[in-house]
């Protein structure tokens, strides 16, 4: 009974389906901060020690491992639900107008599905390039004094990848897409949950924009800096 209600609400009701998008989006928003803070360690000029140890911790702590599976699930849910909604919405709209509207709307909101698709494809590349290589044990192994076990030198993998200007460009552009996706997505998530109040709306919108810019720029500068360090 309870299950049926929950499934109906989350996957059938128009508002419930949006709640799924909102909650999963907020979870990903929180994850991105952690991910970015971790990645900024790539910029430490210590030959990758700090980053590699951090990566080892993140992939071996059982709690974090559990959360990471939840994360993969969330990404899938967000993507699949997003695609399903976009399809349903296209059907509900039918034909589009001969002249496109120039009415003021929430910026980039009409392109969420397109930006999302770019990000999904980017994720494939990103996971293949680093996550899969790590899982396959394709990275070189290093040992650091003071640690009792060898760790994979993921830092080297990353640094190597970003010697290629093609990858740098893809990463930087994808991060632009991420920023635009978040520009609308952040406040939209709050609106969908009904967290809207004239007193706080301005704050939510501002935090959302600052966050979107911070995350996009933060992620994008890493490959760029790594690239220029090596030329």
Partner 1 sequence: MELQLKIWRQKNADSGGGFEVYRVKANEHMSFLEMLDVLNEQLIAERKEPVAFDHDCREGICGACSMVINGRPHGPNQGTTTCQLHMRFFKDGDVITVEPFQARAFPVIKDLVVDRSAFDRIIQAGGYISVNTGQPVDGNAIPIERDTSSLAFDAAACIGCGACVAACPNGSAMLFVAAKVSHLGLLPQGKIEQDGRVQKMVAQMDEEGFGNCSNVAACEAECPKQISVSNIARLNRALITVSFQSS
If DSSP codes are grouped into helix, strand and coil, which group holds residue 44?
Answer: coil
CA atoms within 13 A on the CB side of 44: 15
Q: Is 194 in the site for partner 1 (CB under 8 A)?
A: yes
Stretch of 109-117, 129-137, 161-169, 209-217 contacting partner 1, by CB under 8 A = 109-117
- Measure CA 66 to chain center: 18
- Cα(87)–Cα(194) distance, rounded to whole angstroms? 24
Q: Is 45 in the site for partner 1 (CB under 8 A)?
A: no
Q: Is 91 in the site for partner 1 (CB under 8 A)?
A: yes
E strand or H helix at 221: helix 201-230
- Cα(85)–Cα(184) distance, rounded to whole angstroms? 17
Q: Is 100 in the site for partner 1 (CB under 8 A)?
A: yes
Q: Is 201 in the site for partner 1 (CB under 8 A)?
A: yes
Q: Is 120 in the site for partner 1 (CB under 8 A)?
A: no
Among positions 3, 45, 62, 96, the unique one binding partner 1 when judged by CB under 8 A: 96
Q: Which is nearer to partner 1, 6 or 30 (CB)?
A: 6
Among positions 112, 118, 119, 139, the unique one binding partner 1 when judged by CB under 8 A: 112
> From the DSSP assignment, how many helices (H) and strands (E) are in the chain?
9, 2
Q: Do residues 116 and 185 lie in contact, with contact meaning Cβ atoms separated by under 8 Å?
A: no
Residues that bind partner 1 (CB under 8 A): 9, 12-19, 85, 88-89, 91-106, 109-110, 112, 184, 187-188, 191-196, 198, 201
């Amino acid at each position: 009974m309870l299950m049926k209600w929950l499934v109906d609400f989350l996957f059938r009701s128009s508002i419930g389906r949006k709640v799924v998008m909102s909650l999963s989006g907020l979870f990903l928003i929180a994850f991105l901060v952690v991910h970015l803070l971790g990645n900024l360690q790539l910029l430490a000029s210590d030959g990758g020690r700090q980053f590699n140890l951090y990566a080892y911790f993140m992939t071996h702590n059982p709690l974090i491992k559990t959360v990471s599976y939840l994360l993969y699930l969330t990404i899938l849910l967000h993507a699949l639900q997003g695609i399903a909604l976009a399809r349903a919405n296209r059907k509900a709209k039918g034909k589009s107008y001969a002249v496109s509207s120039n009415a003021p709307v929430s910026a980039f909101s009409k392109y969420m599905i397109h930006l999302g698709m770019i990000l999904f494809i980017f994720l494939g590349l990103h996971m293949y390039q680093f996550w899969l290589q790590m899982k396959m044990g394709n990275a070189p192994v290093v040992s650091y004094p003071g640690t009792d076990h060898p760790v994979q030198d993921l830092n080297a993998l990353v640094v190597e990848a970003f010697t290629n200007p093609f990858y740098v460009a893809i990463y930087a552009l994808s991060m632009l897409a991420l920023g635009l996706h978040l520009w609308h997505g952040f406040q939209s998530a709050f609106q969908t949950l009904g967290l809207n109040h004239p007193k706080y709306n301005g704050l939510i919108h501002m935090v959302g924009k600052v966050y979107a810019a911070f995350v996009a720029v933060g992620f994008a500068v890493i490959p760029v800096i790594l690239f220029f360090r090596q030329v």
